[in-house]
Structure 1
Amino acid sequence: MYKSIVIGTGPSGLTAAIYLARANLSPLVIEGIQPGGQLTTTTEVENFPGFPQGIMGPELMDNMRKQAERFGAEFRNGWVEEVDFSKRPFTIKVEGQEAPLQAETVIISTGASAKYLGIPGEQENVGRGVSTCATCDGFFFRGKKIIVVGGGDSAMEEASFLTRFASDVTLVHRRDELKASKIMQDRARDNEKVKWALNRTPLEVVTDEKGLKGLKVHNNEANKEEIVEADGVFIAIGHTPNTAFLGSQITTDDHGYIVVKPGTTETNIPGVFACGDVQDTKYRQAITAAGSGCMAAMDCEKFLEGDMVHDWSESLDQ
């Protein structure tokens, strides 16, 4: 029996673990198949406060883990297959373990996985010219050519943002029509730095001995292959929140993100909290994830002390 179990790591889960451990709650942190979250696939992190010279993503996550361990957090590697939030104590079934774990409270910090194209050269070059986060990595491409792949609002937003750094941004989309809202399309089209390569299907991320060279595409209109040259390729086709293991026990939005009571990390189940990208559809930054991890731990502590009144009726009606 644990006072609290944190499912998932990353900046949110590890921050929650630090706060819970310092409150003498001895949390158990269940790491998934990618301990440390998306930052472990990032090279240099320059926008996390406290590191004026920047810090490597894996190193930052390792430091957070060590900090949590220092105060007594326990870590266990495994994949959560099933949870039962119908009654307390909650039960959590971890792959490879016969007996389920039990906890009085649970913090869900399983994050959201960026969608990739699934083409050759893509995964091998993540952090080496391929990125899924403009605000994280745009600075590294100052004065360079960038490709943004996607046709929705997020692609338009990332393309517009990246023009602050790039010499030019080429937006590649497999169709000749965009899914983005008209206002977002107009904003991108009004930007003279944004170029368009529509009706082109991405085939391969192309590199040479010097690094990333561009994106091989199939020009659907001309029915031929061509290479769109660039120094960086940003994939902007959306994210998938890692919530499938929850079944239908936790309230989520239409895209699968956990819904929390505004201003808190409370879910619809008293004693279950959510933090980080699994409930954040807007910011998705390491620092905001860490902040929500702190909130989740403090909400969890108050709940265990009996100081939290769980009333969703008003917030859900708004």
Structure 2
Amino acid sequence: MGDCPCGKNRTGAGMMQTHFDAIVVGAGPAGVSAALTLRARNKSVLMCYSDQGALKTAHRVDNYPGMPRMPGEEMLRIFHAQCEEAGVVMYPHAVRQMLPMGDTVSVMAGEELFTASCAILCVGVVRQSRIPGETEYVGRGVSYCATCDGMFYRGKKIAVISAYHEGVEECNFLASLAGETCYFSEKKHDRAGLADNVLVMDGRVTEILGDGKHVTSVRAGDEEFPVDGVFILRPATPPDQMIPGLALEDGAIWTDEGFATNLPGVFAAGDCTGMPYQAPVAAGQGNAAALSAVRFLDQK
């Protein structure tokens, strides 16, 4: 696992902490506000995030209190420094899968498995066009998590569709298991470091095909490539694909007035819960969601 900025993520034996009171997914205004509120209430917090988000690309933010006319990237730098100082464990890897399991929530991020007593989703708006056939075959040959599902394809032929540089590392892990690994780029990115046994394919996958029960092949250009499975590696996973059973409303995560989702112990705040898409609104929602999470934790 990569180094974390905060020393409070280590146990006495020097091993990295893997269980937390709360896991916050996302490091924008909602996620940062939630994490800081949880720390103020003396809860242990892990923040998982990818190096993406609408705020990072904002040329200037004019309506955030105390930070006039500030570039979004600089605002994020200040946010993250404040989180580190407060004792939030920062883990800069995207969450691939989250599973509520009774009294805990299991989270797969990067190549690590964490657990927490609750989770707050602050994932922003995930704008991604899904490949035809992708939704139909999720769980039937289509996966978003190399660590979760790679073992099921040992010795088999797989296609890896990646849209960012971190996908190279995950592809190499899959290539160590699969019999044959074909790598397709969904977007231009640095592919240096791919293992020698990975076949780099030309063209983009335009369709995932199957027999109605399971994936059988992918189409790229005019060619069809038979495969046993397809791993789609993107910087962010749509919430309903990340968490089975998560309720959406008009494409946004449904929450009650206290920002609790339909899943016990899972809360949500910020742009992922719907409009308006504003940084100050997201920060306020993150604070409110964290207070609800604190009440949930204190009642356990």
Structure-2-length-normalised TM-score: 0.55
Q: Which amino acid aligns with 1:288?
A: V
CA contact 2:99–2:244 (8 Å) conserved in 1: no
* Residues 1:105 and 2:118 are matched in the alignment: yes
Q: Which residue of 2 aligns with 1:189?
A: none
Deviation per residue, 1:29-56 (Å, 9 max, x gap): 001242xx2111011111112234x111
CA distance in 2 between counterparts of 1:60 and 1:302 reads: 29
Deviation per residue, 1:89-147 (Å, 9 max, x gap): 111112323xx21100100111103579xxxxxxxxxxxxxxxxxxxxxxxxxxxxxxx
Larger CA deviation: 40-49 vs 107-116: 107-116
The alpha carbon displacement at 1:244 in A equals 3.9
Q: Which amino acid aligns with 2:126?
A: S
CA contact 1:20–1:27 (8 Å) conserved in 2: yes
Q: Which residue of 2 aligns with 1:7?
A: 25
CA contact 2:105–2:265 (8 Å) conserved in 1: no
CA contact 2:117–2:265 (8 Å) conserved in 1: yes
Q: Which amino acid aligns with 1:271?
A: G
* Residues 1:73 and 2:88 are matched in the alignment: yes
Q: Which residue of 1 aligns with 2:78?
A: 63
Deviation per residue, 1:281-300 (Å, 9 max, x gap): x2110010000000111111
The alpha carbon displacement at 1:241 in A equals 8.9
CA contact 1:111–1:242 (8 Å) conserved in 2: no
* Higher gyration radius (CA): 1
Equivalence map 1:17-36=2 (5 Å): 17-34=35-52
Deviation per residue, 1:188-222 (Å, 9 max, x gap): xxxxxxxxxxxxxxxxxxxxxxxxxxxxxxxxxxx
**SS of 1:248 mapped into structure 2:** coil
CA distance in 2 between counterparts of 1:61 and 1:89 reads: 29
Unaligned runs of 5+ in 2: 1-18, 130-235
Deviation per residue, 1:257-295 (Å, 9 max, x gap): 11001x211111221100011112x21100100000001
Structure 1 consecutive aligned stretches of length 4 or more whose deviation exceeds 3 Å: 113-116
* Residues 1:294 and 2:290 are matched in the alignment: no
**SS of 1:55 mapped into structure 2:** coil
Q: Which residue of 2 aligns with 1:237?
A: none
Deviation per residue, 1:62-113 (Å, 9 max, x gap): 111111211110100112111111422111112323xx21100100111103
Q: Which residue of 1 aligns with 2:270?
A: 276
Q: Which amino acid aligns with 2:242?
A: L
Q: Which residue of 2 aligns with 1:42?
A: 58
Q: Which residue of 2 aligns with 1:230?
A: none
Structure-1-length-normalised TM-score: 0.52
2:245 aligns with one of 244, 249, 259 = 249
Change (3 A) 1:51 1:33: closer
The alpha carbon displacement at 1:25 in A equals 0.7
* Residues 1:95 and 2:91 are matched in the alignment: no
User: Cα RMSD between the aligned structures?
Assistant: 2.1
Change (3 A) 1:66 1:269: same
